[in-house]
């Protein structure tokens, strides 16, 4: 009997040819270079899903019996469709969300990470990524302010997962038996509860649900006029929670709320947390990056007193998503979120290599080496890259606020603390009862036109237009162009919504 060949003989082997990698990469790079060079003002060009579905299906090979041969034109068409149907984050017309256009070099590093494919939860699988995590933890802690060697940092795939992980660590510290016994471990002390600001990110409530803490056990703390947690009124809310037999174990503060970019008073909340024996977690997914700037760092005054901190680098450090860092003030607390054994990944005898493992500290076993994009930019350009761009975006947002204040048909809702600004278009003839639906309709109409992309948010249960300045290509000229676009949309809506009686002006 003939022995089987030790070499693969399928036609799939050709897809792994390094020369094919170069050819396909050059196709992609040519399209992306053109994409990055386009500074035209454009927003989101929404495509009918049925049309896009048809276009995507038309690009698929019909070969099924064999591996289809590489078709450069097909690849170019696929990539072109991908680029054209995405949000143009590098355009001055994009002002709608908190994810940004990336520093192009970071995308190159992300490509390398995809090719070498080194999951980074364990040192042996991703050596440099784990070393880079240690370096970035130390570098960024220079701005947080903890004693070197006493804190810990782990990367997670997104701020939502970081918030969940921190809340698990906080719960397990206050309810040590909960991991093994579940709700039976609550005892006579009351039901576990989490205190949050009224504008907290929805991921915190989701995390509570995942942990078995119902929505009724989330204590929402009142806000002040700046939409920050009001510390004095928070005390009364915590007292009321205790009367309801809720045992609050964690206070979640925000450093840059998603709604308006507000920064809670961390130093005052830290004092309150100590007074009530609460874990203080800071969701700084958006705003923690301000720490890198000497001019903006005071927004997070008191951050060194937090027990944990979520920090998204894929927001205001301009790297591909996801890249989130979860910091713990006490390094021992980083071991508290998960408590289990798995012989196939966790070594029985720690050594110099396993000391850098993070698999026992984060939910993910297979985790992208996301830190590589951030560390490479830091290594190549230093912290000033991030500080300068962030400072520009915050100055731009303040100037946009000043412009709105001078326009009688616009109403600002807050003084921006970072790069998020919420406002309403309110022409003189608009009745108060119509303000909500008017803002929603304007946002939809502006989006459909495809020149600008802005978001909306409800502030005090009334819709507002929301811009997030993430692109340094944007200037005040572009913001004034946006206001003109909003006015045109508003005039059209008022014209179509008036009755014939109103349009003629007759009584």
pLDDT digits (tens, 9 = 90+) for 12-34: 999 999 999 999 999 999 999 99
- Give the strand pairing for 324-328 and 279-283: unpaired
Q: Where are the domains of the chain?
A: 37-56+69-103+383-498, 118-382
Give the pLDDT confidence of 450-496 residue by residue, as tens digits. Answer: 999 999 999 999 999 999 999 999 999 999 999 999 999 999 999 87
Mean pLDDT, range 183-187, rounded to an integer: 63
Q: What radius of gyration do the chain's Cα atoms show?
A: 26
pLDDT of residue 366: 85
Q: Is 60 exceeded by the pLDDT of residue 54? A: yes
Mean pLDDT, range 41-57, rounded to an integer: 94
Exposed e or buried b per residue across 420-440, where buried means at least 16 C-beta atoms within 10 angstroms of its C-beta? bbbbbbbeeebeeeebeebbe
Exposed e or buried b per residue across 158-184, where buried means at least 16 C-beta atoms within 10 angstroms of its C-beta? bbbbbbbbbbbbbbbbbbeebbeeeee
Q: Is 60 exceeded by the pLDDT of residue 275? A: yes
pLDDT of residue 7: 59
Residue 180 pLDDT grade (very low, low, confident, very high; cuts 50, 70, 90)? confident
pLDDT of residue 496: 73
Task: List the strands of the sheet with 455-459, edge to edge.
Answer: 410-412, 420-425, 462-468, 455-459
Give the pLDDT confidence of 83-133 residue by residue, as tens digits. Answer: 999 999 999 999 999 988 999 999 999 999 999 998 888 888 889 999 999
* Nearest 10 degrees: Cα torsion 496, 498, 499, 503: -100
All residues at 6 or more sequence positions from 23 whose CB lies less than 8 Å from its CB, including other chains: 70, 72
pLDDT averaged over every residue in the chain: 91
pLDDT of residue 240: 96
All residues at 6 or more sequence positions from 422 whose CB lies less than 8 Å from its CB, including other chains: 259, 260, 412, 413, 414, 457, 459, 464, 465, 466
For 2, which DSSP code? Answer: P
Q: Which tokens hold the place of 97?
A: 């969300």
Q: How is domain 37-56+69-103+383-498 classified at the CATH fold level? A: 3.90.1150
Taking each helix axis as running N to C, give the angle between helix 104-116 and helix 371-381, from 0 to 180 degrees, rounded to the nearest 10: 130
pLDDT of residue 345: 44
When the candidates are 3.90.550.10, 3.20.190.10, 3.40.640.10, 3.40.50.2300, the CATH number that belongs to 118-382 is: 3.40.640.10
Q: Which tokens hold the place of 179?
A: 């991991």
Q: Which of 462, 495, 465, 494 is nearest to 482 (CA)?
A: 465
Mean pLDDT, range 294-309, rounded to an integer: 98
Mean pLDDT, range 295-307, rounded to an integer: 98
């Amino acid at each position: 009997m003939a022995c089987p060949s030790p070499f693969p003989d399928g036609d799939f082997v050709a897809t792994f040819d390094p020369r094919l990698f170069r050819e396909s990469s050059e196709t992609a790079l040519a399209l992306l270079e053109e994409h990055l060079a386009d500074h035209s003002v454009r927003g989101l060009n929404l495509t009918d899903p049925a049309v896009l579905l048809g276009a995507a299906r038309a690009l698929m090979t019909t070969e099924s019996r064999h591996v289809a041969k590489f078709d450069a034109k097909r690849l170019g068409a696929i990539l072109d469709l991908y680029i054209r149907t995405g949000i143009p984050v590098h355009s001055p017309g994009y002002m709608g969300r908190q994810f940004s256009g990336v520093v192009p070099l970071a995308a190159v590093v992300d490509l390398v990470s995809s090719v070498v494919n080194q999951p980074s939860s364990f040192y042996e699988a991703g050596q440099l990524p784990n070393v880079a995590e240690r370096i970035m933890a130390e570098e960024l802690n220079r701005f947080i302010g903890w004693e070197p060697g006493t804190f810990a940092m782990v990367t997670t795939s997104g701020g939502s997962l970081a918030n969940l992980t921190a809340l698990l660590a906080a719960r397990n510290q206050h309810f040590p038996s909960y991991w093994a016994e579940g709700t039976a471990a609550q005892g006579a002390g009351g039901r576990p509860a989490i205190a949050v600001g009224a504008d907290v990110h929805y991921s915190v409530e989701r995390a509570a649900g995942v942990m078995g803490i119902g929505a009724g056990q989330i204590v929402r703390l009142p806000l002040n006029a700046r939409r920050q947690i009001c510390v004095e009124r928070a005390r009364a809310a915590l007292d009321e929670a205790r009367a309801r037999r809720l045992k609050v174990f964690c206070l979640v503060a925000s450093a840059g709320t998603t709604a308006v970019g507000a920064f809670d008073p961390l130093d005052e909340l830290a004092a309150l947390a100590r007074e009530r024996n609460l874990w203080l977690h800071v969701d700084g997914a958006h705003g923690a990056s301000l720490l890198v700037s000497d001019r903006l760092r005071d927004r997070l005054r008191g951050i060194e007193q937090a027990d944990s901190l979520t920090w998204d680098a894929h927001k205001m450090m301009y790297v591909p998503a996801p890249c989130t860092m979860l910091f713990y003030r006490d390094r021992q607390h980083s071991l508290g979120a998960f408590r289990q054994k798995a012989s196939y990944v966790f070594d029985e005898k720690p050594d110099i290599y396993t000391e850098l493992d993070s698999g026992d500290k984060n939910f993910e076993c297979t985790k992208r080496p996301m830190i590589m994009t951030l560390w490479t930019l830091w290594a190549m350009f230093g912290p000033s890259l991030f500080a300068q761009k962030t400072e520009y975006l915050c100055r731009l947002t303040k100037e946009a606020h000043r412009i709105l204040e001078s326009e009688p048909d616009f109403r600002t809702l807050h003084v921006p603390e970072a790069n998020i600004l919420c406002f309403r278009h309110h022409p003189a003839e608009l009745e108060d009862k119509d303000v909500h639906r008017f803002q929603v309709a304007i946002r939809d109409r502006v989006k459909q036109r495809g020149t600008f992309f802005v978001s909306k948010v409800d502030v005090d249960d009334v819709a507002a237009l929301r811009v997030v300045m993430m692109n340094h290509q944007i200037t005040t000229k572009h913001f004034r162009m946006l206001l003109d676009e909003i006015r045109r949309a508003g005039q059209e809506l008022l014209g179509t919504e008036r009755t014939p009686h109103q349009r003629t002006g007759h009584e």
